[in-house]
Chain A
Amino acid sequence: MKPILLQGHERSITQIKYNREGDLLFSVAKDPIANVWYSVNGERLGTYNGHTGAVWCVDCDWDTKNVLTGSADNSCRLWDCQTGKQLALLNTSSAVRTCGFDFSGNIIMFSTDKQMGYQCFLNFFDLRDPQQIDDNQPYLTIPCSEHKITSAVWGPLGEFVIAGHENGEINQFSAKSGEVLKKVKEHSRQINDIQTSVDLTMFITASKDNSAKLFDSASLDHIKTFKTERPVNSAAISPIMDHVVMGGGQEAMEVTTTSTRIGKFEARFFHAAYEEEFGRVKGHFGPINCVAFHPDGKSYSSGGEDGYTRIHYFDPQYFDFELEA
């Protein structure tokens, strides 16, 4: 396959996300600019300018009307997707690490870091109530005093938020009452990324403990484990095949220097049921920080420490491949 290389950032990529139909790909990085691209040919549609620090997270609502970004400049901003205009600015006391629209696109959540004496908080705003935005008063704030939230996604039907913490535990926080509905600790180290399946019934966690795990969203049952030798920075579930893709770093010794044209850092594909690795795709010049499948499953993208985002359209062999049991 011939990947399309997107060079819109000057610093390392922190997150990439497709919109619901998959025609747009959003990328944010440690520089203050958020980019949006047409995934079909890599053409850049525009940039969202306004943040003054590293942008840690990005999300798009189901309608592709609004874009949400959270940044180290202590703000979470809402943008109009089509024009790039900033619609709302929510100031916080510490860096915003994760953010997301719920299924309906009406409620946003974001978590702030434990920094400079401030605790980690999980905030909820209802966009239908402009007063909340103007006063910067979330309708619900959940403090997490012990271990800060490092990654979070909405659960199905907007009932709860699934949060991964610095120590490897996973909590379900109710979006209505704020209480912890369920908790589980299967990872031993920080959870770097959580991504849900297309129907939100499952999610996969990528952890610093060198593994990625598949869970049931409602019960938090641990279903599968995918082991590697390096910390996993990001993982995603294929919408149409029984595959998961994982991106992470690589042992410095393993990276050979024979060719400088193609980077040696790889995205790794595992069979979701057999938990076995079946494929690797090279290309990045630095550790891969974020991976995402296109909603139709025919392509995937990866964002790296090198600042590049690469869109890969799978060869036909990928769809015919069957793992020999």
Chain B
Amino acid sequence: MPSIEYDDSKPSWADQVEEEGDEGTLPSPKETIKGNIKTITDYKIDEDDGKKYKIVRTFKIETRKASKAVARRKNWKKFGNSEFDAPGPNVATTTVSDDVNMTIISSKEDLNAQDQDEDPMNKLKGQKIVSCRICKGDHWTTRCPYKDTLGPMQKELAEQLGLSTGDKDKPAGSEPEPAQPAQSKTGKYVPPSLRDGSTRRGESMQPNRRGECECSLNFFLPHFTP
């Protein structure tokens, strides 16, 4: 079976070549047949590195018995794009790939288990990344399934707790908001202007009525003296 090895651990042949300086820079390819092992030695210069490579390909010559028709076909002359190919596999078209093994699946569960071990996402699932403020579940607060029921209840509880403990607490310390936003008990943000006790003064930009000129354009004409 063909195999490719890069053998550049022995610089001696490259030095030899440089010393002798024969046939340009590369020695000619060699073919030797020992028993049923055929070894082809090729030399090439890699374009990117500029290094010289000696490529040794080993083939095992097998003699197989086959039916007459099959044997006849093995001796057909090559045609089409392979017309000028040498006998034997052409490197451009045929290579031996790396070893693959058939992974045996004894049961579907085993397969899933394998995937699970490799899956880092599953490792994260075990840890506590997100927790909901309302029900402490494995989701974000805004996505809580009990948003409508548990949410407002929790707000009220917090309110009551806040009002009752507010006197006892130090004023500089925790202040659980004595002035609760009146309009929203769902925990949504209410701007200061819309809260209870707001005057809403100075919030909106009113257009000028009665043509009041708050800003005027003053013209200073240049004074011409003859």
Contact = CB atoms under 8 A, between A and B. Distances in A.
B94 interface: yes
Interface stretch (B4-12, B97-105, B168-176, B180-188): B97-105
Interface stretch (B77-85, B127-135, B137-145, B209-217): B77-85
Contact of A23 (B74, B101, B102): B74
B98 A280 contact: no
A18 to B, nearest CB: 12
B165 to A, nearest CB: 51
B98 A44 contact: no
A181 to B, nearest CB: 34
Contact of B85 (A41, A44, A277): A44
B100 A262 contact: yes
A278 B66 CA distance: 32
Nearest to B91: A7
Nearest to B69: A21
B89 A41 contact: yes
Interface in A279-317: 279-283, 310, 312, 314-315, 317
Interface in A17-72: 21, 23-24, 33, 37-38, 40-49, 64
Contacts of B99: 1-2
Contacts of A37: 94
B51 interface: no
Given A64-B69, A280-B102, A44 B94 contact: yes
Nearest to B108: A277
B97 A5 contact: yes
B90 A3 contact: no
Contacts of A33: 80-81
A64 B78 CA distance: 15
A282 to B, nearest CB: 6
Contacts of A321: 104
A2 B83 contact: no
B73 A47 contact: no
B189 interface: no
Contact of B90 (A21, A44, A269): A44
Contact of A21 (B70, B81, B88): B70
Given A43-B88, A47-B81, A83-B79, A279 B104 contact: yes
A84 B93 contact: no
A310 B97 contact: yes
A282 B96 contact: no
Contacts of A198: none
Given A24-B73, A46-B78, A46-B81, A7 B105 contact: no
Given A2-B99, A43-B94, 15 more contacts: A1-B99, A1-B100, A2-B96, A3-B100, A43-B90, A44-B78, A45-B73, A46-B79, A47-B81, A48-B80, A256-B118, A262-B98, A278-B105, A280-B103, A280-B105
Closest 10 CB pairs of A and B: A47-B80, A84-B79, A46-B79, A42-B94, A46-B80, A47-B81, A43-B89, A279-B102, A5-B97, A23-B70
7 contacts: A5-B95, A23-B74, A42-B93, A46-B79, A47-B81, A281-B101, A315-B101
Interface of B: 1, 64, 66-67, 69-70, 73-74, 76, 78-83, 85, 88-90, 92-106, 108, 118
Interface of A: 1-8, 21, 23-24, 33, 37-38, 40-49, 64, 82-84, 256, 261-262, 269, 277-283, 310, 312, 314-315, 317-318, 321, 324
